[in-house]
């Protein structure tokens, strides 16, 4: 009897696709036991995502733990021979403490491991599988790569003490906290401190960021890291198109040692896939062996039925990542949050709860006109993200009302961007306004024509006189609708 794939849920379909992908690449399924001796986790505690595990005394008197991680078990049992490369994938349940509920929860974990003689070809194979894994999801995704050697090479060149500094830097890069970086930079000369803080700016398209990073190398270790990344880009070829490089990805420095990578999904503010080289852990079980592998950090059904809390976004808006794009304290952040996920939303709930207090009308308010004009580049970037986030005209007929709403929403964003550039009035600002409309025309002619026949066109009248008319209309609307 044949069973059609469409009979399963989207998450189950994605799981089947991933299993077929991994098995087709030569990875065999690893079946883990539910429990493991607690001594394993006690000895390798620093390699665990959290030191808290549930333990119990088994009938044989041994202290065991409910498995909090699969990689440790695979690394312990794989034992590849010299020159051998073993490939596994897993689809298991683990038990970990939840940051949100502060209780232990059963988490469905899926991933793959390549262990033993991991060469450049095997490394590129794993990254390709990570890209294909993300592509198996019916949502926009992006993969970011980095290299721990670039960060550690810089720390060694600057002679930063190797104590708690590494943990602080890991937290820094994971959370983009410039304050902690500045703390590490204390005692360094100005040039060295700038080099350390400059890591935060080294993110963008893979090729362009590699070029920028070469000019900032201070040690042979950094150059070797960039050469390895360049070799990876060459091996990926067209499959790596769209991959981004973020050399400030330095999380878990005690665990990862070489190439690291992180996957993001549109509408989900945290990483959903994470992996890299973990030779240090592998060599504790098999001397001379290396290892690399990614793991999903979220359940597939959670990814495909995503719930986004805008109140959470408000608290975290100083640093939100959407599909790999870094948005830092942007007044227009909420626009992308309420726009991009809409085609996948089934229910919207209103909670009549005061989650925070906000003083409206203060001089430095993010939506104040003068602040918006000053930060117009941020508005432009969010508008361009929205331009590319959703193919509105590809929405099915049953979402016609949603299509109209999203078209009107995007037209409003074009109007806001255009009027604030007109308010700036400089030649540079007017050139940016023209470029924005040219980019829209090149990206989607249909959407461009729709915006041309909307209020957005009234904010984009050409020439000096046209700008004056646009600003005059804006001032009239400002008086009528009482916005600032």
pLDDT of residue 227: 94
Q: What's the full length of the chain, in residues?
A: 484
Q: What is the DSSP secondary-structure string of 348-402?
A: ------------TT-TT-TTSHHHHHHTHHHHHHHHHHHHHH--GGGS-GGGHHH
pLDDT of residue 367: 65
Q: 370-401: b or e for each residue (b if 16 or more CB lie within 10 Å)?
A: eebbebbebbbbbbbbbbebbebeebeeeeee
Read off the pTM: 0.62
pLDDT at 152 over 90: no
Mean pLDDT of 311-315: 40
Mean pLDDT of 234-247: 89
Dist CA 41 CA 377 (whole Å)? 48
pLDDT at 217 over 60: yes
- Tens of pLDDT, residue by residue over 367-386, are 677 777 888 888 898 899 89
Q: 126: pLDDT confidence band, cut at 50, 70 and 90?
A: very high
Higher pLDDT, residue 336 or 237: 237
Mean pLDDT of 294-299: 80
Higher pLDDT, residue 266 or 228: 228
Q: 180: pLDDT confidence band, cut at 50, 70 and 90?
A: very low
Q: 141: pLDDT confidence band, cut at 50, 70 and 90?
A: confident
Mean pLDDT for all residues in the chain: 80
Q: 132-160: b or e for each residue (b if 16 or more CB lie within 10 Å)?
A: bbbebbebbbbbbbbbbbbbbbbbebbeb
- Tens of pLDDT, residue by residue over 156-171, are 887 776 654 443 454 3
pLDDT at 151 over 70: yes
């Amino acid at each position: 009897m044949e069973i059609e794939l469409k009979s399963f849920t989207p998450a189950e379909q994605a799981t089947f696709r991933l299993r077929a992908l991994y098995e087709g690449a030569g990875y065999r399924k690893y079946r883990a036991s539910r429990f493991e001796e607690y001594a394993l986790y006690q000895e390798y505690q620093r390699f665990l995502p959290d030191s808290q595990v549930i333990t119990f005394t088994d009938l044989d008197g041994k202290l065991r733990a409910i498995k909090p991680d699969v990689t440790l078990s695979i690394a312990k049992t794989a034992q590849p021979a010299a020159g051998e490369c073993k490939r596994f994938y897993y689809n298991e349940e683990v038990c970990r403490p939840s940051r949100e509920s502060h209780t232990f929860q059963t988490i469905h974990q899926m991933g793959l491991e390549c262990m033993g003689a991991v060469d450049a070809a095997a490394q590129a194979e794993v990254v390709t599988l990570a890209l294909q894994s993300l592509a198996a999801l019916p949502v926009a995704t992006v993969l970011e790569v980095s290299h721990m050697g670039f960060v550690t090479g810089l720390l060694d060149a600057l002679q930063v003490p190797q104590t708690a500094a590494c943990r602080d830097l890991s937290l820094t890069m994971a959370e983009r906290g410039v304050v902690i970086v500045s703390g590490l930079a204390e005692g360094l000369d100005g040039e060295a401190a700038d080099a350390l803080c400059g890591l935060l700016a080294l993110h963008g398209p893979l090729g362009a960021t590699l070029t920028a990073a070469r000019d900032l190398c201070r040690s042979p270790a950094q150059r070797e890291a960039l050469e390895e990344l360049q070799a990876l880009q060459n091996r990926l070829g067209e499959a790596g198109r769209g991959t981004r490089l973020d050399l400030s990805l330095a999380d878990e420095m005690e665990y990862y040692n070489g190439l690291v990578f992180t996957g993001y999904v549109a509408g989900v503010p945290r990483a959903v896939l994470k992996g890299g080289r973990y030779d240090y852990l592998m060599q504790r079980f098999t001397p001379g062996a290396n290892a690399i592998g990614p793991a999903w950090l979220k359940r597939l059904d959670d990814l495909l039925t995503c719930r986004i809390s805008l109140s959470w976004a408000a608290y975290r808006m100083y640093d939100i990542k959407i599909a790999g794009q870094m948005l830092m304290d942007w007044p227009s952040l909420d626009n992308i949050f309420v726009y991009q996920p809409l085609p996948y939303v089934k229910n919207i709930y209103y909670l009549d709860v005061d989650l925070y207090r906000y003083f409206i009308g203060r001089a430095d308010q993010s939506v104040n006109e003068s602040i918006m004009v000053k930060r117009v580049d941020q508005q432009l970037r969010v508008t361009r993200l929205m331009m590319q986030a959703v193919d509105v005209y590809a929405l099915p007929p049953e979402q016609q009302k949603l299509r109209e709403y999203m078209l009107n929403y995007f037209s409003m964003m074009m109007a806001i961007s255009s009027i604030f550039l007109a308010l700036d009035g400089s030649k540079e600002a007017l050139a940016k306004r023209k470029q924005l409309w040219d980019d829209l025309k090149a990206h989607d002619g249909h959407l461009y024509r729709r915006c041309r026949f909307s209020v957005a066109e009234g904010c984009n009248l050409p020439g000096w006189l046209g700008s004056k008319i646009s600003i005059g209309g804006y001032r009239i609307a400002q008086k009528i609708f009482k916005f600032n």
